[in-house]
Amino acid sequence: MWAFLVRPEGILCLSSALSVMAQLKYNFPPRLNQTHLTPSNLKNRVEGLKVKGSNFTLEGFPFLIVAGTIHYFRVPREYWYDRLLKLKSCGFNTVTTHIPWNLHEPLKGQFIFTKNLDFMSFLLTASEVGLWVILCPGPYIGVDLDLGGLPSWLLQDPKMKLRTTYRGFTNAVDIYFDHLIPRITSLQYHKGGPIIAVQLENEYGSYYKDKGYMRYIKKALVARKIQVLLLTADDGQDVTKGHIKNVLATLHMKNIHKETYQKLLLLQGPSPILMTVYTAKSFDTWGLLRRNLDLHLLMKDVQEMIKLRFSLNFYMFHGGTNFGFMGGAVETQKYEPVVTSYDYGALLTEDGDYTPEYFAFQEYFSSVLVVSTHLQSKHNPKAAYKSVIPTHYLTLWDILPYLEKSISAGGILMSKRNVHDRAQVFVDEKYIGVLDQSNDQLTLPAKNHYKNSWTLSILVENQGRITYGLNINSARKGLTGNIYLNNSPLKKFKIFSLEMKPKFIQRNLPNLWKPIHDHSVGPAFFLGFLRIANKPRDTLIKLEHWTKGVIFINGQNLGRYWSLGPQGTYYLPGVWLQPGNNEIIVFEEVKAGPEIKFTDSAHLGF
């Protein structure tokens, strides 16, 4: 689990743990000078990251890992250098990143490692700016992605057991690793690359459905020539279950208390402590308030951890954006899909700007570490473009004339929880209501309103598969069972999958756009053009009076929007715009607003 708020009791627990740890306190030099331990200063490589007693060492020198997480897939490639440079100049020495299997193998057997998924370039850029890399290749990674980064096609096997040694799963992992791991091996430390450690899976101790699974993952990596230090990462309470022999157990900061350290000591003897996920913030979910950062608590924890010579990793240093449909959901008491922004309250904002916390940490790190802050990235101004008024539209019925089921009577329509996650119901293209996790019943109008037979249409939306938890095997989407009308199951639906891939948006939308006079009713696509005279800049889209849908710019899926909030603006990277005309297509499910607005300041909620 990546997402949690540091609750007051969590802080108390940490403090008591810290006092227990005080006995291990070292006499710290005024400023720790690790500048000789950077990628460019270590050309002659003999011994990579090692565990020596309670220290990490690099080339035999004690080494404190000060890391931050950036996900290359949540940041436009053109901005990787900028974000990594900002990480380095804040005082960090390492970047942590995860590899999302579902994006790299979107269809079974179809692999993508180019453009925004060219993680090798991301790692080389990290090395270039002087950062080491901790790499998390999964196969399960969590990180608030749809199905925790596992491809949803795995669930086409009705017997699938994700994250176990079930053959259907390991066969798929083996094929994926055969494509993935050779791209990683040449970037390991001893080959001159920046990777100093590789994390196995993610928080397996909290899942733990198969005792042999972690051994299988370790073998799968080692057999493919992963030779750097291996890590596991777990919550304090699960650290014993997640741990495997000869792999360093590290911590995600939740429920940390004395017993955690005793457990760690028992498991692996004296060892360095690495907080693989340190965060005081979390992502936001639709319909709830924004979660806030308490810098005071965060700074106090970090200072204590550094004093005690904990290595640590900020999750996130820079969150970025859940572009497209990459965002997942959490299911605690109820199902909560994550919003499009993955700002996370991180040290850099979603669009890469500095925050006051960034400068506070830069100042703090430069007081305890020798930091090269001379590297500064240039400021990236944003634009508030003139509003775009959509000129054309296409209704969903125009492009899917056969999405239908004929019925001949009204009555009570029941989903019996077979709708995942949210369905709009229409009778003869007229909106009737929504079926979702909290409402599984609708009344269809009685017959006399209509002809002898009419068309029942159900538009089902996948709002994101759960990102962690014991129930990930059942995260199937769409209509997962019968829909009932007056207690009899309705059969013979024609089902159309509206995947809304860029290809579909660019080529398959038939050339049937109709001029807008006063049409605003969804579900429909609305088309407009943003004209830009000069070099495009970053901007934020504001959809006042629109309800819910997806935004595409020049064929790029920017992600979901929803008037429910808390998110009120949507990040549009300038590098995805071009001078001249830019095509904007908004798929609106309910009712379109009159215009698409742009602003230069983000509003992510209160």
Ligand X SMILES: *[C@@H]1O[C@H](CO)[C@@H](O)[C@H](O)[C@H]1NC(C)=O
**Rounded alpha-carbon distances, angstroms, from residue 246 to 243, 263, 297:** 9, 16, 34
Supply the minimum distance, in Å, between the C-beta of residue 84 and ligand X.
22
- Closest-by-Cβ residue to ligand X is 53
Supply the minimum distance, in Å, between the C-beta of residue 256 and ligand X.
22
d(CA 250, CA 185): 22
- Does residue 52 belong to the site contacting ligand X (CB under 6 A)? yes
End-to-end Cα separation, the chain, in angstroms? 25
Supply the minimum distance, in Å, between the C-beta of residue 370 and ligand X.
4
Q: Which is closer to ligand X, CB of 55 or CB of 520?
A: 55
Binding region for ligand X (CB under 6 A) out of 15-23, 52-60, 210-218, 567-575: 52-60
d(CA 230, CA 274): 12
Q: Which of 50, 62, 106, 555 binds ligand X (CB under 6 A)?
A: 62
DSSP string of 176-203?
HHHHHHHHHHTTBGGGTSSEEEEE-SS-
Supply the minimum distance, in Å, between the C-beta of residue 65 and ligand X.
13
Binding region for ligand X (CB under 6 A) out of 47-55, 106-114, 174-182, 564-572: 47-55
Supply the minimum distance, in Å, between the C-beta of residue 354 and ligand X.
24
Supply the minimum distance, in Å, between the C-beta of residue 36 and ligand X.
4
Burial class (CB in 10 A: 0-12, 13-18, 19+), 46: exposed
Supply the minimum distance, in Å, between the C-beta of residue 91 and ligand X.
13
- Does residue 359 belong to the site contacting ligand X (CB under 6 A)? no
Q: Which is closer to ligand X, CB of 267 or CB of 370?
A: 370
Q: Which is closer to ligand X, CB of 52 or CB of 392?
A: 52
Supply the minimum distance, in Å, between the C-beta of residue 267 and ligand X.
18
DSSP string of 410-450?
-EEEE-TT-EESEEEEEETTEEEEEEESS--EEEEPPGGGS
Q: Which is closer to ligand X, CB of 58 or CB of 173?
A: 58
Contact positions with ligand X (CB under 6 A) in 213-232: none
Binding region for ligand X (CB under 6 A) out of 53-61, 91-99, 360-368, 530-538: 53-61
Q: Which of 55, 165, 227, 473 binds ligand X (CB under 6 A)?
A: 55
Q: Which is closer to ligand X, CB of 36 or CB of 503?
A: 36
- Does residue 53 belong to the site contacting ligand X (CB under 6 A)? yes
Supply the minimum distance, in Å, between the C-beta of residue 275 and ligand X.
18
At 152, list the tokens. Answer: 């949803």
Sign, CA torsion 34/126/56/92: positive
- Does residue 370 belong to the site contacting ligand X (CB under 6 A)? yes
Q: Which is closer to ligand X, CB of 64 or CB of 198?
A: 64
Long-range residue pairs from 436-444, CB within 8 A, at least 24 positions apart, any chain: 437/334, 437/335, 438/334, 440/414, 440/415, 440/416, 441/412, 441/413, 441/414, 441/415, 442/412, 442/413, 443/410, 443/411, 443/412, 443/413, 444/407, 444/410, 444/411, 444/412, 444/413, 444/485
- Give all strands of the β-sheet with 406-407 in edge-to-edge order: 406-407, 454-461, 422-427, 430-436
Supply the minimum distance, in Å, between the C-beta of residue 195 and ligand X.
23
**Rounded alpha-carbon distances, angstroms, from residue 486 to 217, 243, 392, 405, 493:** 50, 53, 40, 15, 17
Q: Residues 552-591: x/- map of binding to ligand X (CB under 6 A)?
A: ----------------------------------------
Q: Residues 6 or more apart from 516 whose CB is under 8 A from it?
A: 390, 391, 392, 393, 526
Q: Which is closer to ligand X, CB of 152 or CB of 366?
A: 366
- Does residue 494 belong to the site contacting ligand X (CB under 6 A)? no
HSE value, Cβ hemisphere, 13 Å, CA-based, for 326: 25
Contact positions with ligand X (CB under 6 A) in 14-43: 26, 33, 35-36
Q: Which residues bind ligand X (CB under 6 A)?
A: 26, 33, 35-36, 52-55, 62, 370
